[in-house]
Chain A
Amino acid sequence: MSRRRELQEINAGSMADIAFQLLIFFLVATTMDTDSGIFRILPPKPEEEQKEEKEIKERNIFVVLVNKDNQLLVENELIDIRNLREAAKEFIANPANRGDLPEKVPEEINYFGVIPVTKFHVISLQNDRGTSYGTYIAVQNELTAAYNELRDELSINKFGIRYNDLKDDDDRKEAIEDVYPLKISEAVPKNIGGS
C-alpha cells in the first residue's frame, strides 16, 4: 500500500496500422470523379390544343438533320461535321447582314445599348431514331461550341474577360446571353432511316 502502482500506458504502436487500414479502405471506395456534360433545358410539354403555330420565316431557321448513318444535312446540303461550327456561327451572328440569314432586330441590352440582334433565329436539330448517341452529342457539342465562341469573342472585346470566366449571377453574362441567345430546337425524331 505504500507505493502507488504507476498507470500502465496503452501501447499505441499499432495505431498507425489501424489508421492505415481505414485509409486504404477510403482510398479504394472513393470516387473522386465529378460528373460533367453538356447542359440543356428541354422545352416544356405543350398544353393540349394550346399551341399557336408561330410562323417562322425561312431565313430564320437553320435546319440540321442527322441520319442513322451519321451523315449531316445542313440547310439541304450534305456537309462535314468539321464545317458545322463555322456554318452555325455565321448563321447565328449574320455578320454581313445577308438576306438569307436571320434578320437583325435592334434591341436594347444592358452594357451594349441598342444593337442589332438576330433575335428570331432558331437552330432546328432533328435526328433519326437510329442515330447513335455519340454522333448526337458531337453535333450538340459543335452547336454549343458555335455559341460559346461567339460569346467569348464578344465578351473579350467588350469586357476583356472570357465568357466562361463570368460568374453565373453576373449582369454581364446575362447581357451577352441576350445578344446571342441559345436557341436550339429539337423536333421529335421521325423514323425516316428505317431502323
Chain B
Amino acid sequence: MTKFARKSKGKKPGINTASLPDIVFMLLFFFMVTTVLRETNLKVDIFPPFASEIKKLEKKSLVSYIYIGKPLQKEVYGTAPRIQLNDAFATKEKIREFISSEREKMTEADRKKMTVSIKCDKNVEMGIVTDVKEELKKASALKVNYSSRSGTQREIFSNF
C-alpha cells in the first residue's frame, strides 16, 4: 500500500497544451474555407415569406440577387418599398443593365445557368415584384428563384 501512496504524492501533471494551436488552426482553416463574406450591405428590410416546397441554391457564383423591401432608414428614404441592386437603390429600368453586367462576370458556359434570386419582403405588394419580373423577361434572365424560408403550414398561411 505504501508503494501506491508514495506515488500519488507527486505533483499533478498539467495537461499538455502543445497541440492546442494545431486544433485551433484546423478550426480556423475550416472557417476560412467555408466562409463567404457578405458582399452587399442590405439597405432594405427583408423578412422572406415562408414556403414548404423549397430547393436550395446550389452554386453561389451563378446567382444574382435582387432585393426588394422597405428601406431601413425610414427617415431618409421613406417607407415605400424599393429595389436594391448591389449596394445601392435602383429603379426598375436599371435591372436590365444589372443583369447584363452580371452576365459579363460569368464564363460563357455559366451564362445559360444564371439564376436570379428575388429576395423580397413578405409584406411588399406584388406590383413592384411584377415590374421586376417583366424587366427580367426583357433581359431574358428567365430562371428565377423566389427566396423563401421553410416554415410550417401555419406560418405559410399566416396571411389568410
Interface residues in B50-71 by Cβ distance below 8 A to A read 50-57, 60, 63, 65, 68
Contact B126 A31 (CB under 8 A): no
State whether A137 touches B56 (Cβ < 8 A): no
Cα A141 to Cα B150 in complex, Å, equals 11
CA distance A121 to B51 in the complex (A): 24
Interface residue count for A (Cβ, 8 Å)? Answer: 50
Q: Which of B57, B133, B145, B159 has the most CB of A within 10 A?
A: B159
A to B contact number (C-beta, < 8 Å): 172
CA gap between A148 and B55 in the complex, in Å: 12
User: Is B148 touching A130 in the complex (CB atoms < 8 A)?
Assistant: no
Identify the closest chain A residue to B134 (Cβ). A188
In the complex with contacts A26-B31, A26-B35, A35-B63, A129-B125 CB distance below 8 A: yes
**CB nearest to B144 among chain A residues:** A40
Q: Which residues of A contact B37 (CB under 8 A)?
A: 29, 31
Q: Does A80 contact B (CB under 8 A)?
A: yes
Give chain A residues whose Cβ lies under 8 Å from the Cβ of B50.
134, 137-138
Q: Contact check: which of A15, A129, A130, A148 meets B53 at CB < 8 Å?
A: A148
- Is residue A111 within 8 Å, beta carbon to beta carbon, of the partner chain? no
> Complex: how many Å from CA A147 to CA B143?
19
Interface residues of A in 131-167 (CB under 8 A from B): 131-138, 140-141, 144-145, 148
- Give the residues from 13 to 38 in chain A that come closer than 8 angstroms, CB to CB, to chain B: 15-16, 19-20, 22-23, 26-27, 29-32, 34-38
Give the complex CA separation of A45 and B51 in angstroms.
28
B 109-143 to A, binary, CB cutoff 8 A, 1 in contact else 0: 00000010101111111110110011011101011
Label chain B's interface by main secondary structure: mixed
Provide the residues of chain A in CB contact with B133, threshold 8 Å. Answer: 42
A37–B115 alpha-carbon span in the complex (Å): 12
**CB of B80 within 8 A of chain A?**
no
Q: Is the CB of B157 within 8 A of A138?
A: yes
Contact between B52 and A133 (Cβ–Cβ < 8 Å)?
no
Asked whether any CB of chain A lies closer than 8 Å to the CB of B160, the reply is: yes
Interface residue? B147 (CB, 8 A): yes
- Residue B149 at the chain A interface, CB threshold 8 Å: yes
73-119 of chain A: CB within 8 A of chain B: 80-82
A127 to B149 Cα, complex, angstroms: 22
Can you name 29 A-B pairs with beta carbons within 8 Å?
A12-B21, A15-B21, A23-B24, A23-B27, A23-B31, A31-B38, A35-B147, A37-B48, A37-B51, A37-B145, A39-B115, A42-B136, A44-B140, A45-B140, A127-B126, A129-B127, A131-B125, A132-B123, A133-B68, A133-B120, A134-B159, A135-B159, A138-B49, A138-B156, A141-B53, A141-B156, A148-B53, A189-B126, A189-B127
- Residues of B with Cβ closer than 8 Å to A? 17, 20-21, 24-25, 27-28, 31-32, 34-38, 48-57, 60, 63, 65, 68, 115, 117, 119-127, 129-130, 133-134, 136-138, 140, 142-150, 156-160
Residues of A within 8 A of B (CB): 12, 15-16, 19-20, 22-23, 26-27, 29-32, 34-45, 68, 70, 80-82, 127-138, 140-141, 144-145, 148, 188-189, 195
